[in-house]
Amino acid sequence: MRDVAIIGVYQTKFGELWDTSFRDLITEAGIRAIVDAGIEGQDLEAMFIGNMSAGLFVEQEHIASLIADQVGLNPVPCTRVEAACASGGLALRNGIMAVASGFNDIVVSAGVEKMTDVVDPTPVISTAADQEWEVQQGANFPSLYAMMARRHMHEYGTTREQLAIFSVVNHKNGALNPLAQFPMEITVDQVLNSSMVADPLRLLDCSPVTDGAAAVVLCPAEDAHKYSDTPIYVKGSGQASGTIALHERRDITTIDSTVHAAKRAYKMAGLQPKDIDLAEVHDCFSINGILAIEDLGFVEKGEGGPAVEDGLTERDGQIPINTSGGLKSRGHPLGATGIAQAAEIVWQLRGEAGKRQVEGAEIGMTHNIGGTGGTAAVHIFSN
Amino acid sequence: MRDVAIIGVYQTKFGELWDTSFRDLITEAGIRAIVDAGIEGQDLEAMFIGNMSAGLFVEQEHIASLIADQVGLNPVPCTRVEAACASGGLALRNGIMAVASGFNDIVVSAGVEKMTDVVDPTPVISTAADQEWEVQQGANFPSLYAMMARRHMHEYGTTREQLAIFSVVNHKNGALNPLAQFPMEITVDQVLNSSMVADPLRLLDCSPVTDGAAAVVLCPAEDAHKYSDTPIYVKGSGQASGTIALHERRDITTIDSTVHAAKRAYKMAGLQPKDIDLAEVHDCFSINGILAIEDLGFVEKGEGGPAVEDGLTERDGQIPINTSGGLKSRGHPLGATGIAQAAEIVWQLRGEAGKRQVEGAEIGMTHNIGGTGGTAAVHIFSN
């Protein structure tokens, strides 16, 4: 298996982008990532696109073909991969496999979602949960994560304030990210007084509905210095499945797919949680940020809340989490999120993260999940 | 890169399966393919699922997670790939990459589509075409392929009867396939007198709406004899993109993505068209069968019609095409088709194709396209 490097990245502005179409978003991300890599379109040998539901959001399937066409890259093979909100993470993983296998040399892994072209995105997002056992019974993602939060509070004494602090820290970082959807600071009081969505989760515990795209360019590690002075290396890639429905879990305060995917990524990288300098985790809801830092092994199970309260996850803390602003502040265009996370880690490891730079960052992780954890993808990178 | 072999295959009955759910279909295919391979579920390291639009057909995205769950295989990584009607072909290709790269040893590539749970599947199928430039202007697949047929007739003198013969030969084979949706013979007169769909294409030129699933089990070629006495080897895999919209093509009588994908597959296999003993081609409409045998290099451009009329594509002809019955007679559950094609070639190369066996078949090809050729996947296998 060949080692793989990232030589180019790009992320569009995330937000409610009324004047930008699905096609515009992915074209901007793809072309600008290629420019960042210093390659030409004809150098590209394959593309993998993470997208959850263009079929339901913009009534267009077969988007990989549309995209190859749109960016002028026919006949380059282009493949869409879908795993709900983990679609981007799997597009990254499949791109890595294409290079590692020797099938392709230079590959783009990208993600895109255009969520604001429907009146109500909730039914679309809900197709990431089990339709028959969850959605048709009235559950949706806020209510499912609310149950996970309530149980975590019950089991481990996690407080409502600790959940709020996770959002506050995200926004503190996101305020320094010009590409974030909500680049402003918020306070614990604001979180606690925001509208109730699904008890105990309030509006400011929830990631927003977002349009956006992101892309990374991959090549064999041995060739990386031909293209980039600051290549970032893929050290580990782990993917795992978990039950799609929450009621089937042995424990709803642990996302087993995160645990398994992380174990595989750590093993492939030959690293441990203590070796990770910073991580982008999948905080679709504040509780999921807390579950993530536990399930990735940064703190013991049940210690996520106190860790956040003690500042361990702040930019100058022991394990900086979501320097980009995370899903909460940067925004969460479903299929693009896994790639945007990788872009942030690349910028950090290159030393290009501007005001939100973590000094001396050498090893970073991304953690991207689908649904309530039916799919998890974990990647580890180094400079 | 490691060589890859197929050690197990399975296809469900194809048809209008009112009493079988999406979950039932994929569970049956996955489990029975594993049984055919003589492995246990815990030997499996990854799954790739081809599916065009569970989101629109059964209101369920994140199907890879659902499937891993349903077949009891958590935490095995499971990834959906989508390229409209070529989704199955790309699931096969991604499974091959996973094994070739060394990421995984034993992998299932499967495909599934449940099309009959919606009142009108046409708007869903149409999401494989360009929504903005084609579908919103009134085009759908029969009308797009009708234009390709009409132009082929104009350029090369292809006759209405030759198109009909392609369907007739398919049904002659399909009548011997107990898994086919329409296992009966038809006549040229029946085709010519069937309802007009989009001039010149009539009902019996068109593949049907189908429920079904299929799966193959892959492993490294060097291990194949541990599991199977009759492993089938993957010799070549080619994928290419073409314009999603028809009006952008340099020529609508050639599907360039087929040409490029075939060129890559032939190159990887070190083979030429004359080396292929039999092929399963993507005849979503009769005209596409004729385009395929030209674009894959079995006959010269424009000679597809006469070749079919002269019996070259019959089971005892020079290049037997669609011994399974093809999309027309076996049926076309969009995401499952590319895998069902591979299953047929595996049965033929194993010598297990029963009454439709092509004697002495050693090298077979599958050709799977999405839309009007926005995506093409071509695979070559040997025994």
B216 has pLDDT over 90: yes
Which of B60, B100, B240 minimises the CB distance to A77? Answer: B240
Whole-number CA gyration radius for chain B: 19
Contacts A370 to B, Cβ<8 Å: 62, 65
Q: Same domain for A102 and A18?
A: yes
pLDDT tens, A177-196? 999 999 999 999 999 999 99
| Residue B77: CATH number of its domain | 3.40.47.10
Q: Which residue numbers of A are catalytic?
A: 85, 332
Q: What is the mean pLDDT of residues B62-81?
A: 95
A65 contacts chain B (CB < 8 A): yes
Q: Same domain for A192 and A246?
A: yes
pLDDT tens, B196-210? 999 999 999 999 999
Q: Same domain for A34 and A164?
A: no
A-chain residue closest to B90, CA distance = A79
Q: Same domain for B39 and B144?
A: no
Write the CA distances from B25 to A12, A378, B30, B269, B332, integer angstroms: 40, 30, 9, 33, 14
pTM for the complete prediction? 0.97
Q: What is the mean pLDDT of residues A202-216?
A: 98
Contacts B83 to A, Cβ<8 Å: 62, 64-65, 79-80
DSSP states along A30-56: HHHHHHHHT--GGG--EEEEE-S-HHH
Which amino acid is present at A354? G
Neighbours of A341 (CB within 10 A): 32
pLDDT tens, B220-248? 999 999 999 999 999 999 999 999 999 99
Q: Same domain for B221 and B111?
A: yes
Q: Same domain for A223 and A95?
A: yes
Which residue of A61, A105, A125, A255 is the best one to mutate when testing the B interface, meaning the one whose CB has the most B CBs within 10 A? A61
How far is the alpha carbon of A310 from chain B, nearest alpha carbon, in Å? 33
How far is the alpha carbon of B305 from chain A, nearest alpha carbon, in Å? 27
Contacts B42 to A, Cβ<8 Å: none
A140 contacts chain B (CB < 8 A): no
Q: How far apart are CA A246 and CA A229, in angstroms?
A: 45
Q: Same domain for B101 and B135?
A: no
pLDDT tens, A263-300? 999 999 999 999 999 999 999 999 999 999 999 999 99
Which of B73, B79, B245 minimises the CB distance to A81? Answer: B79
CB contacts under 8 A, A 165-224 vs B, are: none
Contacts B69 to A, Cβ<8 Å: 241-245, 248, 374
A128 contacts chain B (CB < 8 A): yes
Helix (H) or strand (E) holding B30: helix B22-37
B-chain residue closest to A268, CA distance = B103
B129 has pLDDT over 90: yes
Contacts of B19 (CB under 8 A, 6+ apart): none
pLDDT reported for residue B1:
86
Contacts B55 to A, Cβ<8 Å: 53, 55-56, 127
Structural domain span for residue A222? 4-121+210-227
Contacts B244 to A, Cβ<8 Å: 62, 65-66, 69
Q: Which residue numbers of B are catalytic?
A: 85, 332
**ipTM of the complex in this document:** 0.96
Which residues on neighbouring strands pair with residue A47, listed in sequence order? A78, A108
Structure-token match 């064999």, residue found: A220
Q: Is B57 exposed, middle or buried (0-12, 13-18, 19+ CB in 10 A)?
A: buried
Domain count, chain B: 2
pLDDT tens, A153-177? 999 999 999 999 999 999 999 999 9
pLDDT reported for residue A27:
94
Q: Same domain for B68 and B37?
A: yes
Helix (H) or strand (E) holding A22: helix A22-37
Last residue of a domain, one of A168, A193, A227: A227
Last residue of a domain, one of A227, A257, A286: A227
A134 has pLDDT over 90: yes
Tokens of A177: 């990210």
B-chain residue closest to A376, CA distance = B77
> What is the band of A216 on the pLDDT scale with cuts at 50, 70, 90?
very high
Tell me the average pLDDT of chain B. 97
Instruction: Test A64 with B375 for CB contact under 8 angstroms.
Output: yes
Q: Same domain for B245 and B181?
A: yes
Q: Same domain for A291 and A328?
A: yes
Torsion of the alpha carbons at A107, A109, A114 and A115, rounded to the nearest 10? 160
Q: Is B270 exposed, middle or buried (0-12, 13-18, 19+ CB in 10 A)?
A: exposed
pLDDT reported for residue A1:
86
Write the CA distances from A238 to A260, A268, A331, B28, B45, integer angstroms: 8, 8, 24, 27, 12
B243 contacts chain A (CB < 8 A): yes
